[in-house]
């Protein structure tokens, strides 16, 4: 069963958050007011609420020798979409971190990169070599 997810997160500045997701990542804007906004990120609903300052501490973990943020969210896209977005962000001088292939030559092999939004959230974009292996045990 395919289903879109909904994720609600606090943000510090609706305008900057909208600019990042719509103008930089190419997502579309849904409903919203001056205190909250819905973003359509590849068919998934992100709701950002202007909550002012908030504490955003997180720990890291290691996977395949890479240090990754424990708290992050992301989208799984096809390889062509992944490449186009990576190239677009690189050409815009947007900092892309941890561009790597995980689980190389194993079940679940995928390429991945992270960007940081204006509120400090780590957003991961990944593409699996074989979509059938997204939930395969390693």
Domain parsing of the chain, residue ranges:
6-50, 60-133
Architecture of the domain spanning 6-50: Roll (3.10)
Helix runs in the chain, H state only: 14-18, 79-91
Architecture of the domain spanning 60-133: Roll (3.10)
H/E element, 69: strand 66-69
Question: What percent of the chain is modeled with pLDDT above 90?
Answer: 49
Q: Are 90 and 138 in contact (CB under 8 A)?
A: no
Residue of 46 and 99 predicted with greater confidence: 46
Does the structure show a pLDDT above 60 at 1?
no
């Amino acid at each position: 069963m395919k289903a879109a997810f909904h994720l609600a997160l606090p943000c510090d500045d609706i305008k900057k958050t909208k600019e990042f997701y719509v103008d930089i990542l190419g997502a579309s804007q849904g409903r919203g007011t001056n205190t909250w906004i819905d973003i359509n990120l590849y068919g998934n609903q992100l709701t950002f609420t202007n909550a002012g300052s908030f504490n955003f501490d997180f720990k890291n973990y290691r996977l395949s020798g890479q240090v990754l943020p424990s708290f992050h969210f992301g989208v799984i896209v096809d390889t062509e979409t992944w490449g186009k977005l990576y190239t677009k962000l690189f050409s815009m001088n947007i900092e892309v971190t941890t561009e790597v292939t995980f689980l190389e030559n194993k079940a679940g092999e995928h390429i991945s990169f992270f960007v940081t939004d204006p509120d400090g959230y780590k957003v991961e974009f990944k593409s699996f070599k074989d979509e059938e292996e997204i939930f395969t045990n390693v």
